[in-house]
């Protein structure tokens, strides 16, 4: 049967007949692209996710318990030494790699193109988010006399622009051969009525499948094999938009090894009980993140005998995985979470509809849903002002303005300390 016929049949099967006119009216090249997209797309899966999205959320009987973390500030000198030494050895032996999740859309920040191209107004000429990450890694490379392999996950949408940008910027001085770009997966958007959208490019509108897509994407691009071949044992995974992200902290590596775990995490203490952040906990006995919206009753305010919050370890997207654990996670299908977003689209007559209100379900998997593969994870709580300065919103909380202040305060303090030491 002709490809065209197969595509039409598939659209009819899932009640997507509104797409048929685009198959008829597009030019040959666009038609070909649309047909291929339809044939490759798992429409069955998206319809299943859509059906689920319409169901009211079922709160299962979940037990939520606190987890025990180690606070860097209260570790003994001996503990600090032991963990640091263990971690430093891993980095120096070349067993450490870093992956940056840069496939997000940065919608809250309102940026177009890769978020890592956003320039923060710091230093003489400002610094790009990617540049800040590169500088952070270069410092670690110099300190440990190694070159840490750097994996950068992009989206299909921003991949080319990211790769070109690194080239234009001469890779920010990072050894080019140690940087690997890879794209993450996508899922189609779908309307409240269960209809796929045609975007301005004449193709079905898709969007990145969430930061949890990193595991299967690493596998799909054979990067787990590459890591193994190169002797990588521990992989740090972090976001692109925290300008104080510590990407090579030996202490969390050492702590995770010493506690015999295969996942590690760095956290910072919640600023106040109602802060809108996800925190580490145990859900039904397994390590997890509980979002601020999910806390039953006044659990978010609960304190221990010392008056400390029982659920006070914020998720700052700063995680470490053993390669064997990554391999297992990559085999697993993480659940999808729904979001409702704005999506412009073409009507059957080709007119563009620019929406002002959300109209599309978007499905994303989250990295932290992988934690339930293990019984325990190691959590190292560190100072917020040295680890967390996210650029999320255009203004107000977690904005370029707040990140700039935190970034400058951190580096001024560090310089002062170094001068005093000298």
User: Which residues are near ligand UTP by CB under 6 A?
Assistant: 101-108, 115, 153, 184, 208, 210-211, 213, 239-241, 364, 392
Which run of H or E residues covers position 51? Answer: helix 43-54
> Which tokens sit at 349?
């007559």
Name the residue nearer to ligand UTP (CB basis): 131 or 364.
364
Name the residue nearer to ligand UTP (CB basis): 8 or 398.
398
> Which tokens sit at 329?
């996670």
Instruction: Give the integer Cα–Cα distance in Å for 305 and 139.
Output: 41
CB of 109 to ligand UTP, least distance (A): 6
Instruction: Give the integer Cα–Cα distance in Å for 149 and 397.
Output: 33
Return contacts of 165-173, CB within 8 angstroms, 24+ apart.
165/114, 165/116, 165/117, 165/130, 166/130, 169/128, 169/130, 169/131, 171/134, 172/128, 172/130, 172/131, 172/134, 172/135, 172/138, 173/134, 173/138
CB of 208 to ligand UTP, least distance (A): 3
CB of 112 to ligand UTP, least distance (A): 12
List of residues 6+ apart from 273 with CB closer than 8 A: 300, 301, 309
Confirm if 390 and 398 have CB atoms less than 8 A apart: yes
Query: Which whole-number Å values give the CA distances from 241 to 25, 41, 51, 117, in the listed order?
Result: 42, 31, 33, 10
Instruction: Give the integer Cα–Cα distance in Å for 287 and 281.
Output: 6
Name the residue nearer to ligand UTP (CB basis): 108 or 143.
108
User: Nearest CA to 380 among 236, 227, 211, 243?
Assistant: 236
Name the residue nearer to ligand UTP (CB basis): 19 or 132.
132
CB of 144 to ligand UTP, least distance (A): 25
CB of 184 to ligand UTP, least distance (A): 6
Name the residue nearer to ligand UTP (CB basis): 8 or 241.
241
CB of 29 to ligand UTP, least distance (A): 28
Position closest to ligand UTP via CB: 104
CB of 154 to ligand UTP, least distance (A): 8
Name the residue nearer to ligand UTP (CB basis): 149 or 278.
278
> Which tokens sit at 323?
């390669």
Name the residue nearer to ligand UTP (CB basis): 151 or 172.
151
Name the residue nearer to ligand UTP (CB basis): 208 or 256.
208
CB of 136 to ligand UTP, least distance (A): 14
Q: How far is C-alpha 395 from the geometric centre of its chain's CA atoms?
A: 21
């Amino acid at each position: 049967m002709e490809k065209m016929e197969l595509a039409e049949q598939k659209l009819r099967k899932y009640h997507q007949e509104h797409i048929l006119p685009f198959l008829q009216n597009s030019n040959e090249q666009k038609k070909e692209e649309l047909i291929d997209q339809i044939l490759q797309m798992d429409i069955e899966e998206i319809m299943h996710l859509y059906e689920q999205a319409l169901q009211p959320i079922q709160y299962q009987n979940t037990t939520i318990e606190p987890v025990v973390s180690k606070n860097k500030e209260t570790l003994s000198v001996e503990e600090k030494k032991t963990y640091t030494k263990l971690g430093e050895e891993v980095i120096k032996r070349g067993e450490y790699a870093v992956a940056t999740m840069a496939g997000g859309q940065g919608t809250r920040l309102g940026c177009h193109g890769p978020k890592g191209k956003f320039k923060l107004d710091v230093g003489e000429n400002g610094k790009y988010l990617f540049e800040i990450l590169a500088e952070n890694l270069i410092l670690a490379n110099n300190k440990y006399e190694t070159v840490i392999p750097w994996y950068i996950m992009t989206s299909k949408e921003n991949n080319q622009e990211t790769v070109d940008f690194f080239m234009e910027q001469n890779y920010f001085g990072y050894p080019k051969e140690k940087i690997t770009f890879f794209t993450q997966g996508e899922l189609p958007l779908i309307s409240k009525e269960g209809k796929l959208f045609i975007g301005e490019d004449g193709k079905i509108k898709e969007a990145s499948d969430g930061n949890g897509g990193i595991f299967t994407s690493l596998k799909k691009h054979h990067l787990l094999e590459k890591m193994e071949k190169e002797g990588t044992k521990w992989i740090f995974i972090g976001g692109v938009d925290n300008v104080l992200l510590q990407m090579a902290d030996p202490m969390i590596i050492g702590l995770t090894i010493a506690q015999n775990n295969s996942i590690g995490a760095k956290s910072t203490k919640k600023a106040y009980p109602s802060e809108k952040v996800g925190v580490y906990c145990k859900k039904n006995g397994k390590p997890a993140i509980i979002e601020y919206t999910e806390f039953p009753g006044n659990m978010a305010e609960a304190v221990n005998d010392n008056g400390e919050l029982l659920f006070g370890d914020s998720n700052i997207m700063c995680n470490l995985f053993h390669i064997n654990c990554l391999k297992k996670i990559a085999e697993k299908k993480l659940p999808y979470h729904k979001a409702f977003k704005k999506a412009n689209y073409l009507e059957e007559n080709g007119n563009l509809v620019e929406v002002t209100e959300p109209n599309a379900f978007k499905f994303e998997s989250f990295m932290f849903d992988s934690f339930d593969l293990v019984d325990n994870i190691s959590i190292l709580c560190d100072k917020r002002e040295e680890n967390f300065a996210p650029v999320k919103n255009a203004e107000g909380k977690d904005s370029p303005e707040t990140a700039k202040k935190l970034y400058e305060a951190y580096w001024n303090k560090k310089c002062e300390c170094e001068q005093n030491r000298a």
